[in-house]
Structure 1
Amino acid sequence: MRDPRIWVEGECNESLYKAAAAPLPAYKPCRGHRHVEMTLCITGLPGADKSTDEDTVLMVLTARCNDQRQEIKAAYKKTYGKDLVSALKSELGGLFEDLIVSLMTPPVLYDATQLHKALKGAGTDDQVLIEILASRTGEEIKEITKVYKKEFGGKLEKDICGDTGGSYRKLLVILLQGSREEDVDEDNIEKDAKDLYAAGEGKCGTDEEKFITILGNRSEEHLRRVFDAYKKISGSDIEESIKGETTGNLEDLMLAIVKCVKSVPGYFAESLYKSMRRAGTDDKTLTRIMVSRSEVDMLDIRANFKKMYGQSLYTTIQVLLRTIFKKKAPHLPFILCDGVRFGNLL
């Protein structure tokens, strides 16, 4: 394991933030134990008798992975006797506060919190339900369910059932079990493709149950092969059938499942693009995706974004956030797009 490293001031430019296997120039070895590093980390955060340096807050917290942020949070409480997240909320504001507080939240708790807000706010935020349940793995969904109950005292499935209905609710509940099949059933690939065709394009009306059963339970690799077989049978992609046979939230959920089965990074690249191309930026979606995928597949999302839209995600976000964050943190767009926290180098 490499020696612990601490952040020291450095020029904020694109090359500084590129992931690299070699030690970055903005880091210098720090002699001593890990608690020394943590103490140095928190010197720029809100504490007793000092004002908050927002640039330092950003640099310290984004230069480390989420696990290390939790260590910083613990070190802060030991040093000042205060909760760091509460202190940040009292010092920051607006979108900058939302971003920093989100980065300070453990990933599973962050997902559980987003779902709780989606269900308990004014109306149901179906976009959040669809995004999280369609894109997370079975194990991740099971962990989210446990944390949801621990933090909010209720069952996620019960809350979802209370806010949704019909075939849409049924498919959400199936996904919520986190029990998608793992293997490819060679004998049923052709059958599933034919069943989907017969349930949609091949009949008058739509057999939603058949779509729900296949899309909600089959393994991802099995579904990819079913989609290929479906195209040979119908002459069109499965997405076209879903668009023609379903509407509303059920259509959105089925399309999200198909897109995630084909490529999770591609799904999020499209979601980011849409969030920045609506009349008025969808700040919540932008923040949620950038935070939740930052240590998962952000580099792949960047590559897909470039391939799909012919422009870099960094440049797009830089232009978008110029009027929001430039004065506080001109380097924020690249930090958000980096995809590899510097803490991984420790």
Structure 2
Amino acid sequence: MTNTDEQLGVLTKAFSGIGVDEKTLISVLGNSHPDDRKSYRKGIQFFTEDERSFERWQADHVAQLEREFLRFKNAMVFWAMHPWERDARLVKNALLKEPQLYSVVVEIACTRSSEELLGARKAYHSLYDHSIEEDVAVMVPGPERKLLGALVSAYRYEGSKVNEETAKSEAKIFCNAIKDASKNPVEDEEVIRILTTRSKLHISTVFKHYKEICGNSIDEDLDTDLFLKETVQCLCTPETYFSKTLDGAFNGEADEDTKDALTRVIVTQVDTNMQKIKEDYHNKYGVQISDKIAEEVNGNYKDFLLTLLSRES
């Protein structure tokens, strides 16, 4: 195998995956001669030769390269930001997406502490001159609007007291609402009240009794209702939600928003819940998150994510 063939293989790998291997690109391309680059263009999968024998870079791969470089930039910017501003901007971006990313809004509303969520709401005021609640009310068109609006408005009790009898009663309410095929449970006023006013510990107790009453876990019964299932997971078992979100980000066929979740989850969770997420991910998928990143991600983006994870461990 010639040196050019070896470098071609290295370049192909450098351009692939989540994140570009910038160091390799600099080393190989920076030291290459015109004839080398011609060989690269003919050999690397991102170039095509048209009917005039002109070697051009395919437009979709140009866009891919731009996105990959942007991932590293975004990770750095989000890490440097105040957490309240970061969450406010994430919510705004999620609402502006088409289709909207309800899961990101749910994630921030349900996995942050009461003070953190209040801080994000304050930051949103400062950045956009109106409230998260207002944007949810105006911008979310579907049946999810009422629950989302109440979730982002919540300021929950975070103590250890739980009334078992109340929890049992509310488990029955949930069971009836989910079993009622005539109505979407996300529109049930009592379901909304429980999910948006009760403490997370209380809601976890509700779902413990739910399984006793209904026979299945709440996760099993919400298997076809992703929005409500993610809400419940973010409130009660956020590590389950985050490990699933990370695994989706590693899927090479995933859309860009799904892949971008890798940045969001690592940057926002590394100082809080990452140890539980690591354990859940390893239990579910049989690999460490850091090993998966080392395998799937390239360049400075990979190095930065692994640096964040090593801080936490």
Residues 333/150 of structure 1: CA separation in 2 closer, same or farther (3 Å cut): closer
**Offset at residue 116 of structure 1 (A):** 1.7
1:240 shift after superposition: 2.6
Report what 2:83 is aligned to: 107
Cα deviation for residue 165 of structure 1 reads 3.4
% identical aligned pairs: 25
Residue in 1 aligned with 2:295? 319
For residues 190-248 of structure 1, the C-alpha deviation after alignment (integer angstroms, 9 at most, x for no partner) is 1111111122226654552232222222211111121111111111011233335xxxx
- In the aligned structure 2, how far is the partner of 1:154 from the partner of 1:274? 33
TM-superposed CA distance for 1:291, in Å, is: 0.8
| Counterpart Cα distance in 2 of 1:106 and 1:203 | 44
**Which of 150, 171, 186 does residue 193 from structure 1 map onto?**
171
Flag the 1:93–1:309 CA change in 2: closer, same or farther, 3 A: closer
Q: Following TM superposition, by how much is the alpha carbon of 1:329 offset from its aligned partner in structure 2, in angstroms?
A: 6.7
Are residues 1:338 and 2:307 paired?
A: no
Query: Cα gap change, 1:340/1:185 in structure 2, threshold over 3 Å: closer, same or farther?
Result: same
Q: Deviations over 1:103-145 (max 9, x none)?
A: 2111111111111222235553323212212221222111101
Match of 1:235 in 2: 215
| Stretches of 4+ aligned residues off by more than 6 angstroms | none
| Contact kept? 1:294, 1:336, Cα under 8 Å | yes
Deviation for aligned residue 1:102: 1.6
TM-score normalized by structure 1? 0.63
**Contiguous gaps of at least 5 residues in structure 1:** 1-53, 56-91, 245-250, 342-346
- Please tell me whether the aligned partners of residues 246 and 262 of structure 2 are also in contact (alpha carbons under 8 angstroms): yes
Q: CA deviation at 1:304?
A: 1.8
- 1:216 pairs with 193, 196, 201, which one? 196
Partners of 1:161 and 1:329 in 2: CA distance: 36
Instruction: Normalising by structure 2, report the TM-score.
Output: 0.69
Deviations, residues 29-87 of structure 1 (Å, cap 9, x unaligned): xxxxxxxxxxxxxxxxxxxxxxxxx99xxxxxxxxxxxxxxxxxxxxxxxxxxxxxxxx
**1:237-266 per-position Cα deviation (integer Å, ceiling 9, x unaligned):** 11233335xxxxxx3332122212332223
Q: 1:172-321 to 2 correspondence within 5 Å?
A: 172-182=148-158, 183-201=161-179, 204-207=182-185, 208-243=188-223, 251-277=225-251, 279-280=253-254, 282-321=258-297
> What's the C-alpha RMSD, in Å, of the aligned pairs?
2.6
CA 1:306–1:181: 2 relative to 1, 3 Å: same
Q: Structure 1 or 2: larger helix share? A: 2
Q: Deviations over 1:254-298 (max 9, x none)?
A: 212221233222321121112212514633211111111121222
Q: Quick one: distance in 1 between partners of 2:95 and 2:180? A: 36
Number of equivalenced pairs: 242
Alpha carbons 1:145, 1:155 under 8 Å: kept: yes
Partners in 2 of 1:308 and 1:111 — Cα distance?
28
Give how far 1:157 is off: 0.9
Partner of 1:137: 113
Q: Provide closer, same or farther for how the CA distance between residues 122 and 239 of structure 1 changes in structure 2, counting only shifts above 3 A.
A: closer
Instruction: Give structure 2 stretches of 5+ with no counterpart.
Output: 1-21, 24-67
Q: Report the counterpart of residue 156 of structure 1 in structure 2.
A: 132
